[in-house]
Amino acid sequence: MIIDQKSFEIEGSFGGKQNWLLEHGITSKFWADRSCGVVAAANLIKFISENHLDKRNLYQGQTKDDYIQLMSELYKILSPRIWGIPSLTKMEKGIMKYSKERGISLVSSKNTWLFDMEEGSKFIRQGLALNSPVLLLTWNHSDKNFKNHWITITGWDIVYGEEYMTVSNWGQKRVYSYKEWAIERSLFKGAIYFQ
C-alpha cells in the first residue's frame, strides 16, 4: 500500500530537508538540526492539500521555494526546542493550529507503542489506507536513521512475510524493515496521521 509518491517530489528531493531552513536564512544550523518534525509536518500538509479536494487551502505551493515558505510557517508554529518536537501532542497541536488558521478542520489519530509490533503495524497501515502519510517519532533508537527523529511514512509493503516502510527521511526515499525498527529498544515510539 503506497500513497501518491509524486506529492513528495520537490525538485530532486523526496520530501523536504532540514538544512533548507539554514540555507534560506530561516534559522541557524543548530535549530535546523532539530527541525525534522517541521519537515515531517510540511510533507504531510503538502500531501493532504494535493490529495484531498476539501483540504486544498492548506497549501497551494508548486515550487521548492513555496515548500520552504511552508516549512518557515510551520517552524514558527511548531517552535522546535533543544530536543526538537518531542511529542505527538506538540506535533498534533501545531498542525491543528496551522490548519485552523486556514479554515480547514483536520482530525488526528495518534498511537504510541513500545512492545506490540502488530498494533503499530496496524495503526500505520490504517493511516496509509485513509490516504494520509504517517508521521513516525522515535526516541533513543540505536539506528541513527531513527534516533530522536521524525520521518514521514509514505508506503507499506510485505515481501515474503516481512513488512517494509517506504519513507521520506533526510530528503530521500528510503525503505526500512518495520521489524528491525520495532524490535530495537527505544524510550518512545509513536505515530500520528491526519484526515
Domain count, the chain: 2
**pTM recorded for the entire structure:** 0.95
**Co-location of 126 and 187 in the same domain:** yes
User: What is the reported pLDDT for 115?
Assistant: 65
CATH of the domain at 176: 3.90.70
User: What is the reported pLDDT for 1?
Assistant: 76
**Co-location of 89 and 46 in the same domain:** yes
Q: 45: buried, middle or exposed (CB in 10 Å: 19+, 13-18, 0-12)?
A: buried
**Co-location of 113 and 92 in the same domain:** no
Instruction: Establish how many alpha carbons lie within 13 A of residue 14's alpha carbon, considering only the half-sphere containing its beta carbon.
Output: 17
Tell which of 86, 101, 116 closes a domain. Answer: 101
**Co-location of 78 and 29 in the same domain:** yes
**Co-location of 36 and 123 in the same domain:** no
**Co-location of 50 and 74 in the same domain:** yes
**C-alpha to C-alpha distance for 178 and 149, rounded to whole angstroms:** 16
| 98 in Cβ contact with 73 (< 8 Å) | yes
Instruction: Establish how many alpha carbons lie within 13 A of residue 190's alpha carbon, considering only the half-sphere containing its beta carbon.
Output: 18
What rounded mean pLDDT belongs to the chain? 93
**Co-location of 90 and 14 in the same domain:** yes
pLDDT tens sequence across 83-93: 999 999 999 99
**Co-location of 150 and 88 in the same domain:** no
Domain around 73: 5-101
**Co-location of 112 and 68 in the same domain:** no
**Co-location of 90 and 158 in the same domain:** no
**Co-location of 17 and 74 in the same domain:** yes
Tell which of 101, 129, 159 closes a domain. Answer: 101
pLDDT tens sequence across 123-163: 999 999 999 999 999 987 777 777 889 999 999 999 999 99
Tell which of 77, 101, 125 closes a domain. Answer: 101
pLDDT band at residue 114, thresholds of 50, 70 and 90? low
How many other C-beta atoms lie within 10 A of the C-beta of residue 1? Answer: 12
CA angle 75, 80, 82 (to 5 degrees): 150
